[in-house]
Amino acid sequence: MAEQSVLTCLAEQLAQALQADERRVLLGEDVRDGGMLGLSRVAVADEQLADRIVATPLAPATTFVHAAGMAMAGLRPIVLLPSAAALIEGFAGLAEASRVDASTAGERQAPMVILAPCGPGFGLGGDNAATLEVALTALPGLRVISCGDASRVCATVAQALAADGPTVVLLARTALLCTAEVGGEPSEDLLVPQELHTGAQATVFSWGPALANTQQAVADARNAGFDVGLVDVVSLAPLAVDALVAAAATSGKLVIAHGGGRLQGLGAELAAVFADHAILHLDAPVTRVTGTPGPWPRTGEQAAVPSVEAIREAIDKVVNY
Amino acid sequence: MESPWDPEGVEICLQPSGELTDSKLADGMDLRALYKRVVAARCLDLRLARVGVPMWVSSAGEEAVALASSQLLRDHEWLYPGARDFAAYPLRGYDLDEFLRQLAGHRTVDSTGYNGRPGGISAPDVWIAHAPEALGAHLAMAAGQAHAELLKNTGRAVIATMGEGMTTVGMYRETLAMAAACDLPLVLIIKSQIWPEGAPAEAGVLGDSVADRVRALGIWARRADGADVVGVMRAVRQALTRARERRGPGVVEVVVTQLSHCKDAPAHRDPVERLRSYLDREGVWTPTFQDVVEAEARGQIERACEAVGLTGGTHG
């Protein structure tokens, strides 16, 4: 294990993925020049991979469907996006790629992975600061994975690349900018909820761009003597209901912390899941703490995620309920 | 026999009179067999008109496109059809019962059911792709398939068909950009119409010829007359040959006359009638031959309709 920047690790990982499996193809804007975040930099240096690094026009919808067509023909495309905002620009194409299996009654599949940086962190504001997960999880057939923990980004992406079916991996920008202990190939499944701490007094659920602040708030609470658990939800679609409900039942006092607005956010769905499946275990109202609804100005994009203080307050509230 | 319905800028192989411009143009084509298929396609269209598929529009007069794409593609070469090329499925050998079952939205006993566009059909057995719902998505999907064929060096081409209205759609433009940038073995067959009274906005006609507009993008393009089955086959074959030889994408614009809409179009605008005139001149066509060909096609279609339980009238 060595300290490495997450972006460098990802770039190496993508090159290795292409080298290991000749069905893999890398698509995206500027990928021939290293990609918008330098993620194809290592792959481009290997001349043997040149045919399989495909620079695309600035056309997200067409790129997604193009990748689906490639996947239906037996390739395993990886699409690099400059920002998750491109998922919204290409929404029609994303929907099309997601339903190949259903539209063909299972006769054709589209195994492809889209890597999309999301949330605040680069000072871009606007759609770039958004988490967009609610739009994505509404698409039947699409798997949505959220990476918010810098130390797990590379390994999670590696597992996602091996997954079947169309998959979007949302990469929290705050995690991409980190240097972390990376390397090794963990044997456990990283595409399911990760219980980072167990706790008897409260359980906090979070994911993606809000995870870093949540980790800080939970650490503060634990240092203050509270026995608080933390679950990184990771898989936003499909939701791993059983695992989430089991985690919720350990404390019965739940906080859900996520980016974007509160209204009709994914936290509302989780709260409903807990009400449906864990109502007898609940000892306090399910508390949600979120970002503001946006749009966020460039200089105030941190408002897209809940602050450490707000999450800490919510933890105190449920613990003392 | 020139009329306002006849396109300019096309290489005519089968003249409006039914004469071949040059007898060599039909070398390697069995025009009698093609005639049977084009009649079968017309019979299918007339029958489907009574089935009541949502958003269904007749493709009478457009048969050359379904014919060329189904007959010229080889096994394992995919067709990504537009919304009005139903005849391509049975012409490529797809089971008529299953075709009608999907068209009508019925589930088969052991299938999970298809969930594509209404009337959309998925026929991977005969390498015909399902119908995506977003406008123009089948073009981008075909380009992706073609890209895979190129990267895997299979020497195979892919055809997608569409109407000229789709040229107003972003995914069409973006697909052409991708096809040109990557030299994809993709052939687009675009049906256009002549609008003697002016084109509607949906036609997207920014010039007279779709082929001209495509050529301006630096992509190989030909214009053919949809009433001239031989000419359409010739142009599509050329495009396929280029694609298979990795010489890049091609577009064939086929100018069709929608017979269900254009009641006052002259008879030679009908591809069935034009091919019939040729066979008649050659002394191959007789009313009895016509009766037999039609009865055979209708019989097959009717049997399949009954098997699938499709109501909506029978041939009278």
CATH number of the domain that residue B275 is part of: 3.40.50.970
- Residue pair A151/A181 in contact (Cβ under 8 Å)? The answer is yes
Q: Which of A51, A62, A107 sits opposite B122 (nearest CB)?
A: A107
Specify the range with the lowest mean pLDDT, choosing from A169-173, B196-200, B278-282.
B196-200
Q: Evaluate if residue B315 carries a pLDDT over 50.
A: no
Q: Does A50 touch chain B (CB under 8 A)?
A: no
Domain membership of residue B18 (yes or no) is no
Q: Does A26 touch chain B (CB under 8 A)?
A: no
Return d(Cα A285, Cα A309) in angstroms, integer: 20
Range of the domain at B77: 23-308
pLDDT of residue A20: 97
Q: What number is the average pLDDT over the span B41-69? A: 91
Q: Does B122 touch chain A (CB under 8 A)?
A: yes
If contacts are CB pairs under 8 Å, which of residues 88-117 in chain A contact chain B?
Answer: 92-93, 95-96, 99-100, 102-108
**Chain A residues touching B217 at Cβ < 8 A:** none
Categorize the per-residue pLDDT at B206 as very low, low, confident or very high, splitting at 50, 70 and 90.
low
Residues of chain A with confidence (pLDDT) below 70: 1, 183-184
Q: What is the pLDDT of residues A124-134, one digit of tens each?
A: 988 888 888 99
Contacts of residue A208, defined as CB under 8 A and 6 or more positions apart, other chains included, come to A118, A119, A131, A133, A146, A147, A148, A170, A172, A236, A258, A259
Q: Which of B113, B134, B177 sits opposite A92 (nearest CB)?
A: B134
Domain membership of residue B2 (yes or no) is no
List the domains of chain A with CATH numbers: 2-182 (3.40.50.970), 194-319 (3.40.50.920)
The C-alpha angle with vertex B253 and arms to B252 and B259, in degrees rounded to 5, equals 130
pLDDT of residue B312: 64
- Residue pair A258/A131 in contact (Cβ under 8 Å)? The answer is yes
**Chain A residues touching B133 at Cβ < 8 A:** 95-96, 99
Q: What number is the average pLDDT over the span B36-52? A: 93
A73 and B177 within 8 Å at the Cβ level: the answer is no
Domain membership of residue B7 (yes or no) is no
pLDDT of residue B250: 98
Domain membership of residue B8 (yes or no) is no
How many distinct structural domains can be found in chain B? 1
Q: What is the pLDDT of residues B116-171, one digit of tens each?
A: 777 788 999 999 999 999 999 999 999 999 999 999 999 999 999 999 989 989 99
Closest-CA residue of chain B to A93:
B137
Would you state the structure tokens that stand for residue A180, as one six-digit string? 């972390």
Contacts of residue A171, defined as CB under 8 A and 6 or more positions apart, other chains included, come to A115, A116, A117, A118, A147, A153, A157
A62 and B171 within 8 Å at the Cβ level: the answer is yes
β-pairing verdict for A76-80 and A24-28: parallel
A72 and B144 within 8 Å at the Cβ level: the answer is yes
The mean of the pLDDT values for chain B is: 91
Return d(Cα B89, Cα B268) in angstroms, integer: 26
Q: What is the pLDDT of residues A68-96, one digit of tens each?
A: 999 999 999 999 999 999 999 999 999 99
Q: Evaluate if residue B43 carries a pLDDT over 90.
A: yes
Residue among A201, A42, A52, A191 at smallest CA distance from B148: A52
**Chain B residues touching A65 at Cβ < 8 A:** 132, 134, 137, 140-141, 144, 171
